[in-house]
A and B are shown apart, each in its own frame.
Chain A
């Protein structure tokens, strides 16, 4: 079989994580969530449903929201990954983070990193979303505490802030 040598057990990936370059071998079955949490110790990204339903593990890959629990790490090769740890500029919080704090857009907070990353992706694709567009986009980010009203309000306010 000519292709046996073409089968890879690991992949040498080079990516950026929150702007910093990272290179290393990843197992083919290793998810981006496992790489981020277990090897890079970026534990802001949460593991929850592991079936692309809840949104707790949302990160940006080339500015697109992805479920890092169900996304193989090798796919991030030559791409930019942004996690919740990469949203603030040093000590300066992102307008989304400020707005979530101001509006109490969380209760237990477990879904919050995913909510903020999903919102970040929305504002990149659509800087002026309506409340309905926010609800539609965030329909895949579940908040069991039910902070949806405050989450939507936070995103509306952050959109205004970004335009200043």
Chain B
């Protein structure tokens, strides 16, 4: 049983933000409830008021705007996995969305809710990191843009402040010639490990590369130092280079032992799957 709740259904960002500011910790933003209702039922979070943001029209947009794909915070995972626009502009994201939990969760859960919850065991954020995605957030006074890498602060913690709403995700196109791939390892519905790779290759040489890893530690991370080492390397040498980077990966990713596997296992598999994903990127990626 979920404890007694009240409902507020604003139609503008201003109304929603004002309610959140006035009600403080008593209120929670509610977009679909895929994550929130579980926490309320299990007593991990208390709330008296749901601020249902689904009636705010702007949060449902899904469109191209000057080469940038804009996805409103309330667009569901299922809508994204089926979107021709997403498949064309960000094929690895479309694939990652198709792998989120199960079809019921994908029907209910939203991209905005997923990012704002910032559960470490999640898929879409890892892919969005290789796109250098930005997030638009807003409150009753102003709007601002935050780079996704700055938005993810720590496990279950984001750069959102009291009264802030996540409005939309801005996804720039990858550089010309770059192919993208998402791969995940999972024993249960939540992934043990997710890797995202964007790579431009020519004659077996990695010309430009972007790498991100999620689920292993507190939050998804870009691997910028390793990207520099791999730029200019032969694809055939990538697996060896990656296998020599355990120390760097451990320091950056801060892996933990948990029911999904030991920290050592996750680190080992990170190297294996980054290499696999690079090879897949060399063969057209997720399309």
Tell me if chain B binds chain A.
yes
Q: Decide if A55 touches B102 in the complex (CB within 8 Å).
A: yes
Most buried by A among B3, B19, B37, B49: B37
Smallest CB–CB gap between B31 and chain A, Å? 11
Which residue of B9, B33, B38, B78 is within 8 Å of A72 (Cβ)?
Answer: B33
CA distance A8 to B4 in the complex (A): 11
| Stretch binding the partner chain, chosen from B62-70, B104-112, B191-199, B260-268 | B104-112
Q: Decide if B38 touches A51 in the complex (CB within 8 Å).
A: yes
A to B contact number (C-beta, < 8 Å): 81
Q: Decide if A67 touches B6 in the complex (CB within 8 Å).
A: no
Q: Decide if A71 touches B33 in the complex (CB within 8 Å).
A: yes
Most buried by A among B3, B9, B15, B103: B103
Q: Decide if B5 touches A140 in the complex (CB within 8 Å).
A: no
Q: Decide if B4 touches A65 in the complex (CB within 8 Å).
A: no
* Contact residues, A1-19 vs B (CB, 8 A): 1, 3, 6-9, 11
Please give, as numbers and ranges, the residues of chain A lying within 8 Å of B108 by CB-CB distance: 52, 66-67, 70-71
State whether the Cβ of B231 lies closer than 8 Å to any Cβ in chain A. Answer: no
For B15, the closest partner residue in chain A by CB is: A3
For A9, the closest partner residue in chain B by CB is: B6
Q: Decide if A3 touches B18 in the complex (CB within 8 Å).
A: yes
* Contact residues, A24-68 vs B (CB, 8 A): 27-29, 31, 50-53, 55, 58, 64-67
For A52, the closest partner residue in chain B by CB is: B105
Are A72 and B103 also in contact (CB < 8 A) when A3-B22, A8-B7, A28-B5 are? no
Contact with A along B15-46 (1 / 0, CB 8 A): 10011001000000000011001101100000
Please give, as numbers and ranges, the residues of chain B lying within 8 Å of A162 by CB-CB distance: none
Please give, as numbers and ranges, the residues of chain A lying within 8 Å of B37 by CB-CB distance: 31, 70, 72
State whether the Cβ of B75 lies closer than 8 Å to any Cβ in chain A. Answer: no
Please give, as numbers and ranges, the residues of chain A lying within 8 Å of B104 by CB-CB distance: 52, 55, 58, 65-67, 140
Most buried by B among A11, A67, A141: A67
Q: Decide if A31 touches B7 in the complex (CB within 8 Å).
A: no
Please give, as numbers and ranges, the residues of chain B lying within 8 Å of A9 by CB-CB distance: 4, 6-7
Please give, as numbers and ranges, the residues of chain A lying within 8 Å of B34 by CB-CB distance: 52, 70
Q: Decide if B22 touches A1 in the complex (CB within 8 Å).
A: yes
Which residue of B7, B19, B33, B78 is within 8 Å of A70 (Cβ)?
Answer: B33
Smallest CB–CB gap between A152 and chain B, Å? 16
Please give, as numbers and ranges, the residues of chain A lying within 8 Å of B4 by CB-CB distance: 9, 27-29
State whether the Cβ of A121 lies closer than 8 Å to any Cβ in chain B. Answer: yes
Q: Decide if B41 touches A7 in the complex (CB within 8 Å).
A: no
State whether the Cβ of A139 lies closer than 8 Å to any Cβ in chain B. Answer: yes
CA distance A74 to B38 in the complex (A): 17
Are A3 and B19 also in contact (CB < 8 A) when A52-B101, A140-B104 are? yes
State whether the Cβ of A22 lies closer than 8 Å to any Cβ in chain B. Answer: no
Please give, as numbers and ranges, the residues of chain A lying within 8 Å of B3 by CB-CB distance: 29
Q: Decide if A7 touches B49 in the complex (CB within 8 Å).
A: yes
Smallest CB–CB gap between B96 and chain A, Å? 15
Please give, as numbers and ranges, the residues of chain A lying within 8 Å of B283 by CB-CB distance: none
Which residue of A1, A53, A137 is within 8 Å of B103 (Cβ)?
Answer: A137
Q: Decide if A52 touches B22 in the complex (CB within 8 Å).
A: no
CA distance A92 to B102 in the complex (A): 31
Please give, as numbers and ranges, the residues of chain A lying within 8 Å of B41 by CB-CB distance: 50, 70
CA distance A9 to B6 in the complex (A): 5
Q: Decide if B2 touches A31 in the complex (CB within 8 Å).
A: yes
For A70, the closest partner residue in chain B by CB is: B37
For B54, the closest partner residue in chain A by CB is: A75
25 contacts between A and B (CB under 8 A): A3-B15, A3-B19, A7-B6, A8-B8, A9-B6, A28-B4, A28-B6, A29-B1, A29-B5, A31-B2, A52-B34, A52-B101, A55-B102, A55-B104, A58-B104, A65-B103, A65-B107, A66-B108, A70-B37, A70-B108, A72-B33, A74-B7, A140-B101, A140-B103, A140-B104
A-binding residues in B (CB < 8 A): 1-9, 15, 18-19, 22, 33-34, 37-38, 40-41, 49-50, 78, 101-105, 107-108, 189
